[in-house]
Structure 1
Amino acid sequence: MTCLQIPAAERAQLAMMLEVCAYPKPGNVDRCHDYPDTRLEHFLASTIFARSAFEEAELGTGRIGEIIKHAVRDTNCHLGGNTHFGAFILLIPLIYGKDIHGAQKAIEKTDTSDAVAFYKAFAMTSVRMNAADELDVNDPHTLTLIRDRGMTLLDIMQHSAASDMVAREWVTGFRLSRRGADILKETGPGRQAIVRTFLTLLATEPDTFIIKKHGAGVAQEIMNSARDVLDGKRSAEDLDGECISRGINPGSIADILIASLFIALGERWSWDY
């Protein structure tokens, strides 16, 4: 069976599994190290329990916002906190629409009910928001604001795009996810291609999760360090150790890498080497 023949729900699970198991991806949980409160097992559990939501997206019987909420609800089954919220934002429209073009058409059809469901899903996570964000997930008035303005889920992503690279993917036609898939296919099969793609994306785009937690200066510093790794000036293991010791987690790049893997797997990229 080729990866092209694997049902989209299973391909999404495979993408999530491959991302978390690849090593070394500087700063992220992988097969060689955990965080104090979040372990490899938590990510793998989420990969398993997301299956029902992915199948719902593949059937196209529900609305995208509700399916994202179902994915978050179903994977809140462990003590490891949020593991894949950003990945769900990318994977579910890709599964729903069958490909990037279909995903774009699907997200253009989102409405206010999708936006409300998404914010309810957001409230189940511990994902960081900008302190001054008008649409604060912790403010009960936000849902009223969304309804009064008639905001769709695409509107929400456009609102967040400047400060959140995962939301930006909805607005730019999954630009980075597409680029990551192309890098995977150009680099070759297997785990080293995943690591190379992660480092390439990290070297060229400031990770917005790092910015929210540590500031733009640190995000730029990690970009420069990733370039040094690609140029052979330092090892990925060395950068990984530095990120772990400083609590720096390029989590948004990891989410986009999962979407890239999903796309590449559907285009016959081989993970099995």
Structure 2
Amino acid sequence: MSQPTVKPASLAELAQFAMLLEVTARGKPGNIDRCHDYEDTRLDHFLSSAVLAKPVFSAVEEGRLSIGEAMRDAVARTNMHNGGNTHFGAFLLLLPLIAGRGIAGAAELVKKTTVTDAVLFYEAFGLTQVRVRTEDPMDVNDPASVQRLIDEQITMYNVMEYSAPHDMVAREWTNGFALTRRAADLLIAQNSGVHTIPAMFLALMAEYPDTFIAKKFDAKTAEAVMYQAREVLDGKRSLAAFDGECIKAGINPGSLADICIAGIFTALLEGWKWDC
């Protein structure tokens, strides 16, 4: 009897897997993992988000949702738990990567987003508590901003262009997903193993100040964390001590975590094998 044909994992499944691998990888300083929870947000909130997002990922893979529609629906579905924002930035990266079948396609697709996508993106913002800059003229919580999108024909790509200077996730849309590519390359270069994801994450931490930290605290704090990560890589600081300091201070590199997820997805898509 012939063996049944096993279908390769779908893009939706790879995206879900990337989310699960990132949040369960131990050794990512300051972020929630199997050993760390925050008071209001826990590991199970992130796991729930990864499960609940799957139908949206599938709809995007099948071409049934635009990026704006998918952002709104993904946030609405994953808002069923009370853990706050878990994967908003990850969705912003994963959805075009799924729709574009990888980085090259995503980089072109995002430029074709519409004003309607931008309005739906603002609706998605309204469903969660994503950290934003104060006194922003394009405040996502201000109804006048939505009207401005329509009046001035501002597309979702234009919104990312506006946000790019102070948001590294938005910047991925405008720079061809450069850090996503960097993250994937780090994983692929290491081949496989349980320590590859934390090693990739720490390398990115040591290279780039996290913009989520900058919004939560300030740019000086984000730069200090970057230099501390470099000290860990240089053997001048203990990883465990650094992690503990970040957790105690509430310093979590959330933007880099989102890029980490996108990098894992890209690496998986390109044949990288994760080996526990």
Q: TM-score range by the shorter chain?
A: over 0.9
Conserved 8 A contact 1:23-1:195: yes
2:131 aligned with 1:128: yes
Unaligned 5+ runs, structure 1: none
- Does residue 201 (structure 1) correspond to residue 204 (structure 2)? The answer is yes
Say whether 1:174 aligns with 2:177: yes
Question: What are the within-5 Å matches in structure 2 for residues 198-237 of structure 1?
Answer: 198-237=201-240
Question: % of aligned pairs identical?
Answer: 53
| CA displacement 1:212-258 (0-9 Å, x = unmatched) | 01111111110011111111222221111000111101000000000
Counterpart of 2:120? 117
Measure the CA separation in 1 of the matches of 2:200 and 2:273.
14
Q: 1:47 aligns with which of 37, 50, 57?
A: 50
Task: List gaps (5 residues or longer) in structure 2.
Answer: 1-6
- 2:86 corresponds in structure 1 to 83
Cα distance in 1, alignment partners of residues 239 and 191 from structure 2: 19
Aligned length: 270
- Deviation of 1:10 (Å): 0.3
Alignment partners' CA distance in 1, 2:135 and 2:187: 37
Structure 2 residue aligned with 1:8, among 8, 11, 36? 11
TM-score between both structures, scaled by the size of structure 2: 0.96
Aligned partner of 2:247 among 230, 240, 244: 244
RMSD in angstroms over aligned alpha carbons?
1.0
Contact 1:181-1:261 at 8 Å conserved across structures: yes
- SS of the equivalent of 1:262 reads helix
Deviations along 1:174-233, one digit per CA (max 9) or x if unpaired, are: 000000000011123133110010001111111000000111111111001111111122
Moved >3 Å (runs of 4+):
none
* 2:65 aligned partner, one-letter code: G
Partner of 1:154: 157
> Which amino acid is the alignment partner of residue 202 of structure 1?
M
Note if contact 1:25-1:236 (Cα within 8 Å) is conserved in structure 2.
Answer: no
CA-CA distance at 1:60 after TM superposition: 1.3
Measured in 1, the distance between the counterparts of 2:85 and 2:214 equals 18
The TM-score normalised by the length of structure 1 is: 0.97
- TM superposition shift of 1:66: 0.7
